[in-house]
Structure 1
């Protein structure tokens, strides 16, 4: 990646619907060169996909919960089962295997605390977990999907 690629990627992360002509102008290259660079980034997997970011409040899922999970199970088969289980819960936005005191971290969005309780009950019925603790986000101070380039 050179300076122009970085500029294109930065601009696309801010607004993926920016017209190629405008993108090329801001990145300092021709429209054709800009289009080729974008296609190259897509082909190499640098640009994985383009998505729409929806407003959680307007969709009725304003509550964000970070769920810390500990388990006594550490076999690959169990993790595969857990990953399949997580896929069944649309409330789970992100899923990480962690280092340190917690084995897994989930980012969950729900309408309210009662909905989270319902989610929690369904989760613990779906798979064996040793310890589940939840932290409710009080305020979203920074949110971005743009990676530093």
Structure 2
């Protein structure tokens, strides 16, 4: 019997390999072995163990705006009764707009990440899902925020979303292959698409240069133990807000509580019912409550936090990774010059 992921101990080489493929999802086994300081056979065996025990999968991070999905939403839903998972999944599966959906416990009991080409597409879907939910369970609140800037992390997209994007058929096929297997070589792509390696390389490079593929990484698909908390932050924006934001970053750069993945998986600037969305993993509820209290102290009096502990993911993947957050965290600052 395999150990549960939360009980799995990763040795130093395994951790270095995990970090390496999270930072470069297309790195070869030989190059990963060199970075981790081990032989190629050892790296191959340990990478296979990571896949089997943790469900580690290498994937592309796609540029949704470049694909035409310029509208991205985070939605926190509160219903009167407990969520009927089967009913909710049936509703969610009727559209590709919701790319992630989870049942939660806390201030909201459903979390949805939705993407759309325009606000009209989102509104049509929103009316459909809200009326569908109301038919079986009264919705107390439907709180929506636009995702403005993803500073850290992302929700991996489902392959079905690529069917109607404005790309050539060949480019769609390449993206679909990469979503399923990010390590496939350009030569193998050419073979599957019945074209020369230079032709496949041309299309591959075009997708990267156009921002359709932002980078390649890896995610941990199996549960890693502890509790995963999604929380929305309403900030008071005090005069020293910039300094407080820098203090918050130091919290996000801390090492993992479980020892397998980073503590913080997502940090996004949003506009709507809150100012920021975080997704993080903690060993215990007590550890989360301590972090929540520290977050309020960092942003100052008047800070409000709405949170939900994720119980069950119905669609999509939790973006658990292990990497040096400082290297990938988007430090963009908001500057307004005025007239």
Shift of 1:146: 5.5
Is the CA contact (8 Å cut-off) linking 2:98 and 2:113 kept in structure 1?
A: yes
Question: Deviations along 1:56-110, whole A, 9 cap, x unmatched?
Answer: 01111122111121112316xx222112322332111222222322111111111
Structure 1 runs of 4+ off > 6 angstroms?
none
1:52 and 1:141 map into 2 onto residues whose CA distance is 17
* Counterpart for residue 21 of structure 1: 30
Q: Which residue of 1 aligns with 2:75?
A: 67
More strand by share: 2
Separation in 1 of the partners of 2:320 and 2:22?
5
More deviation in 88-97 or 10-19? Answer: 88-97
Please state how far the C-alpha of 1:38 moved relative to its aligned partner: 0.9
Structure 2: gaps spanning 5 or more residues = 1-9, 155-318, 324-339
The structure 1 residue matched to 2:147, chosen from 134, 137, 148, is 137
Among 56, 60, 66, the residue aligned to 1:52: 60
Partner Cα separation in structure 1 for residue 43 and residue 107 of structure 2: 46
Cα separation, partners in 2 of 1:14 and 1:88, compared to 1, 3 Å: farther
CA distance in 2 between counterparts of 1:41 and 1:142 reads 23
1:83 and 2:89 aligned: yes
Query: What is the CA distance between 1:132 and its match in structure 2?
Result: 1.8
Maintained 8 Å contact 1:10/1:146:
no
Name the count of aligned residue pairs.
146
Match status 1:93 vs 2:99: yes
Task: Label 1:103 to 1:13 Cα distance change in 2 as closer, same or farther (>3 A).
Answer: same
Q: Once structures 1 and 2 are overlaid, which stretch shifts more, 47-56 or 101-110?
A: 47-56
Residue 133 of structure 1 aligns to a residue in which SS? strand
Distance in structure 1 (CA, Å) of the matches to 2:74 and 2:52: 34
**Once structures 1 and 2 are overlaid, which stretch shifts more, 8-17 or 27-36?**
8-17
CA RMSD, Structure 1 to Structure 2 (Å): 2.0
The gaps in structure 1 that reach 5 residues or longer are none
TM-score relative to the length of structure 2: 0.40
